[in-house]
Amino acid sequence: MKFGKEFASQTVPEWREAYINYKYLKALLKEILIFRQRRCRLPENSQVNPKPRLKRRVSLNFRAFSGLTNNSPRKYKEDHEVIVVNTMQQDEEQGRSSSTYHTIFLRSSEEGGDLELVFFKRLDDEFNKVVHFYKTKVEEAVKQAEELNVQMDALIALRIKVNNPLMETIQESKTREEHHDINEHKTASLDVLNRVKINATRETPRSTVRGVFNSLNVDLNYSKSEVKDAQGKLKQAFIEFHEKLRFLKNYAFLNQLAISKIMKKYDKITSRNASDAYLGMVEESQLSQSDEVAKLIERVESAFIKHFCKGDRNRGMNTLRPKSKREKHRVTFLVGCFFGCSLALVAAIITSIHARDLLNGEGKTKYMNTIFPLYTLFGFMVLHMLMYAGNVYFWTRYRVNYSFIFGFKQGKELRFKQVLLLSFGLSVLVLAAVLANLEMEMDPETQSYKALTELLPLGLAIAVVSIAICPFNILYRTNRFSFLVSLWHCVCAPLYMVTLPDFFLADQLTSQVQLLRNVEFYVCYYGWGDFKKRDAATCNDSNIYKTLSIVIAVVPYWIRLLQCIRRFCEGSDTTQAMNGLKYLSTIAAVVTRTIYTQNRGTTLKIVAASTSGVATIFSTYWDLVMDWGLLCKDSENPWLRDKLILPNKSIYFIAMVLNVILRLAWMQTVLDFHEASFLHRNALIAIVASLEIIRRGIWNFFRLENEHLNNVGKFRAVKSVPLPFSYEDQDKDL
């Protein structure tokens, strides 16, 4: 792999704009090379002073700085000098000063010197950008370390107070002697507990209701639950802080290496000797000389191992520096195996239908009204997972940091092959059950079907739910738990603080309305219907069932409306109020359409079409402008946005057109397409529902792309963890 690609692959995605623009600097060198080749009348593909290349390439993580440490510097005569590097001090706010580096190119009068002058000017700009960003981030890290130090004092004091109330004096003295915090100061005394309050750490519906009337900061009760909650939050804060420090360390290393590489290329192309002078300046800069980050990393690791891992270094380092997840060959094998089995089962189902002429049989209508809705529920699940697998693949390919955005634990996120494994595994089970349920012949005496095969869909549903809530460490327990937590937050909205995973999941549910209705049908069919005779008349003719069908269709949009209200109340963001109105208009559209399908009538048809039209326009605008950030008229990319991840701009326009078309799928309900269609009504409903799932899959990619670019614009690369203790202003400098 060439250095440029390896450099790009190891950068922090959210800090991409802050790195050396190696690609552009390399392009400037190419212009210099082309000029020199033309001047010397050399073939275009020739190289100046070609040197043999090493066959073996070593990863960036194990390469030396290669020229940044001048152990044996070469001396040149004055007439061989190419550049002079000046360092200028600039005063900033609060009495601080910063260094700005400026290179004087001494050969600008030579032919082609203007190109080299441009190169050094851009190189200086890039290097100054890197130094300024690094200095800013280091200052932030130092302040954050001080804050964690104060929090750690309170936690240690709370531990002593709760765990050994009779040994406070002894433990306090011992702690003062042994404990050294991040900044190498001794801990505060137990008196600190009299000047701190504990933030509401474990958010529950009850704590949210209490927080409406009371402050979120409450006095300490000196309970073990407080210790546990505070320790958990502070532990996570240490982990995130350590990750930020590692990002900073890698940032400094990669940029120094990139400058070293680009200067060596310059020397090679121009046959000059400018790299030593420039790299000497780099070595003397804060980017190389500052050891604050390295010291902070050592102290954070020491404090974390001592106070959160009981001195177990292996355990502590495995937590702070988790190993990258290796791709397992068995996952690839099982994906291929299950995919092949799915194709074979589909072929078997098609063959069985045609061989027995089941499409024209007497039981066709019964099957489509009963068994078909039961299995389409799983079909919707499989399709949604397949779309998500595609999302993960393209997010990974274009370096959209979906793991950070969703808040997955490092190394625990599912990759696209693992999502495919779950998808095809479920499809095999479903298709096998479908094949078993194709037996449509009744027992002539009892006029009923076999109970075993009729209970297959219910057994499959129970199995899926059991696996989802299984507490044992099988089938990606961490991911299942995160999913269930977000689902619970959605159900309890607005009693939980709304995070991106929560409202993202709620958005997925708005595209699975038909799946939720199928769940309702499951309950009715197996609870009140006669499943042995495939009779669902009790459900379909019930007014209660029809009313619940309307309520269930509204639930996902109602959840999103409540989430928008919660976010509006927390931040007074008018955007959330408008987003809530969007979901309110969608609720009106869903209710009127459902009522129209149940009762018909010209007036209802007009009302349903009107509300659906308004909701579609509102939702489409929100998708394209607010969620995707597109349709910016004055952007660098007309009608798109300034920053794009996909190289082909036409894909964005195709996605916008598809979104509009698929948004209009509701028209089949109002215009009564199913009455003139050769398809069964339930089959047409399933197709329309599948189109909505596909639309949501497309929406997911561009929604997360926009979120990622927002994080890039704000250089957010690590999660912000709320700290457990709140100090009064006058006591914070303890």
Per-residue pLDDT at 53: 41
pLDDT: is 441 or 205 the higher one? 205
Cα–Cα distances in angstroms (integers) from residue 559 to residues 116, 491, 666, in the given order: 60, 7, 21
Per DSSP, what are the bridge partners of residue 725? 198
**Do 353 and 273 share a structural domain?**
no
Q: How many CB atoms lie within 10 A of CB 69?
A: 13
Contact 684, 674 (CB under 8 A): yes
Q: Is residue 733 part of a domain?
A: no
Q: Got the DSSP string for 205-248?
A: HHHHHHHHHS-SEE-----HHHHHHHHHHHHHHHHHHHHHHHHH
Lowest-confidence segment of 163-167, 538-542, 689-693 by average pLDDT:
163-167
pLDDT: is 9 or 175 the higher one? 9
Q: Is residue 723 part of a domain?
A: no
**Do 629 and 523 share a structural domain?**
yes
Q: Counting Cβ atoms within 10 Å, is residue 694 exposed (0-12), middle (13-18) or buried (19+)?
A: middle
The three-state secondary structure class of 63 is coil
**Do 333 and 317 share a structural domain?**
no
- Which of 268, 297, 321 terminates a domain? The answer is 321
d(CA 124, CA 102): 6
Per-residue pLDDT at 190: 74
The three-state secondary structure class of 108 is coil
Per-residue pLDDT at 37: 86
d(CA 259, CA 325): 31
**Do 248 and 165 share a structural domain?**
yes
CA-nearest of 720, 709, 719 to 15 is: 709
- 3-class SS shares of the chain: helix, strand, coil, % to 5: 70, 5, 25
Contact 155, 229 (CB under 8 A): no
**Do 180 and 43 share a structural domain?**
yes
**Within 13 Å, how many C-alpha atoms sit on residue 521's CB side?**
25
Lowest-confidence segment of 173-187, 356-370, 617-631 by average pLDDT:
173-187
Lowest-confidence segment of 380-389, 400-409, 559-568 by average pLDDT:
400-409
Sheet of 196-199: strands edge to edge? 217-218, 196-199, 725-727
Q: Is residue 722 part of a domain?
A: no
Long-range contacts, stretch 500-509, CB < 8 angstroms, 24+ apart: 500/405, 500/406, 500/407, 500/707, 501/406, 501/407, 502/563, 503/560, 503/563, 504/406, 504/703, 506/556, 506/559, 506/560, 506/563, 507/560, 507/696, 507/699, 508/384, 508/696, 509/555, 509/556, 509/559
Length of the chain: 734
Per-residue pLDDT at 377: 95
Contact 184, 299 (CB under 8 A): yes
Q: Counting Cβ atoms within 10 Å, is residue 462 exposed (0-12), middle (13-18) or buried (19+)?
A: exposed
Contact 251, 189 (CB under 8 A): no
Contact 645, 705 (CB under 8 A): yes
DSSP-derived letter for residue 71 is S
Lowest-confidence segment of 100-104, 507-511, 520-524 by average pLDDT:
100-104
Q: Is the dihedral of CA 164, 165, 170, 174 positive or negative?
A: positive
Average pLDDT over residues 305-314: 91
d(CA 170, CA 708): 51
The three-state secondary structure class of 624 is helix
CA-nearest of 408, 245, 246, 239 to 307 is: 239
* Cα 405 from chain centroid (whole Å): 3
d(CA 134, CA 414): 32
Per DSSP, what are the bridge partners of residue 727? 196
The three-state secondary structure class of 535 is strand
Q: Is residue 720 part of a domain?
A: no
Average pLDDT over residues 131-138: 94
pLDDT band at 729, cuts 50/70/90? low
Q: Which backbone phi and psi does 97 adopt, to 5 degrees?
A: -125, 150
Average pLDDT over residues 250-264: 94
Per-residue pLDDT at 731: 47
Contact 583, 555 (CB under 8 A): no
Contact 149, 185 (CB under 8 A): yes
Contact 444, 413 (CB under 8 A): no
**Do 200 and 182 share a structural domain?**
yes
Cα–Cα distances in angstroms (integers) from residue 44 to residues 31, 40, 263, 611, in the given order: 12, 10, 22, 65
d(CA 396, CA 416): 9
Lowest-confidence segment of 448-462, 584-598, 717-731 by average pLDDT:
717-731
Q: Is residue 68 part of a domain?
A: yes
Locate 703 and state its tokens. Answer: 């929604």
Q: Collect all residues with Cβ–Cβ distance below 8 Å to 606 and sequence separation of at least 6.
A: none
pLDDT band at 202, cuts 50/70/90? low
The pTM (predicted TM-score) of the whole model is: 0.85
Per-residue pLDDT at 648: 94
**Do 427 and 310 share a structural domain?**
no
Per DSSP, what are the bridge partners of residue 196? 727
According to DSSP, the β-strands at 217-218 and 97-105 are: unpaired
Lowest-confidence segment of 423-427, 489-493, 719-723 by average pLDDT:
719-723
pLDDT band at 326, cuts 50/70/90? confident
- Encode pLDDT of 72-128 as tens digits: 333 333 446 788 888 877 665 555 667 788 888 888 888 888 999 999 999 999 999
| Highest-scoring range by mean pLDDT, 40-54, 306-320, 413-427 | 413-427
CA-nearest of 145, 174, 172 to 157 is: 172
**Do 348 and 299 share a structural domain?**
no
Q: Is residue 730 part of a domain?
A: no
pLDDT band at 574, cuts 50/70/90? confident
Per-residue pLDDT at 112: 82
Percent of the chain clearing pLDDT 70 (strictly above): 84
- Encode pLDDT of 351-378 as tens digits: 988 888 877 777 788 888 899 999 999 9
Q: Is residue 732 part of a domain?
A: no
Contact 521, 536 (CB under 8 A): yes
**Do 260 and 127 share a structural domain?**
yes
Per-residue pLDDT at 449: 73
pLDDT: is 437 or 327 the higher one? 437
| Highest-scoring range by mean pLDDT, 270-284, 370-384, 527-541, 667-681 | 370-384
**Do 470 and 525 share a structural domain?**
yes
Per-residue pLDDT at 336: 96
Per-residue pLDDT at 93: 56
Average pLDDT over residues 225-244: 90
Our count of domains for the chain comes to: 2
Contact 120, 107 (CB under 8 A): no
Q: What's the mean per-residue pLDDT of the chain? A: 84
d(CA 201, CA 183): 26
Per-residue pLDDT at 210: 64
Q: What is the widest separation between alpha-carbon atoms in the chain?
A: 110
Average pLDDT over residues 548-563: 95
**Within 13 Å, how many C-alpha atoms sit on residue 432's CB side?**
10
**Do 16 and 123 share a structural domain?**
yes
**Do 312 and 387 share a structural domain?**
no
Q: How many CB atoms lie within 10 A of CB 574?
A: 9
pLDDT at 650 over 80: yes
Lowest-confidence segment of 62-66, 469-473, 476-480 by average pLDDT:
62-66
Locate 499 and state its tokens. Answer: 């995070």
Q: Is residue 731 part of a domain?
A: no
Contact 684, 668 (CB under 8 A): yes
Per-residue pLDDT at 59: 45
d(CA 379, CA 427): 8
d(CA 531, CA 399): 49
Per-residue pLDDT at 211: 65
pLDDT at 345 over 90: yes
Contact 689, 517 (CB under 8 A): no
**Within 13 Å, how many C-alpha atoms sit on residue 301's CB side?**
17
d(CA 564, CA 572): 11
Contact 105, 113 (CB under 8 A): yes
Average pLDDT over residues 400-418: 90
Per-residue pLDDT at 64: 41
DSSP-derived letter for residue 400 is -
Domain that holds residue 303: 1-321
pLDDT at 188 over 80: no
Locate 154 and state its tokens. Answer: 């309170």
* Degrees to nearest 5, angle at CA 633 with 628 and 636: 85
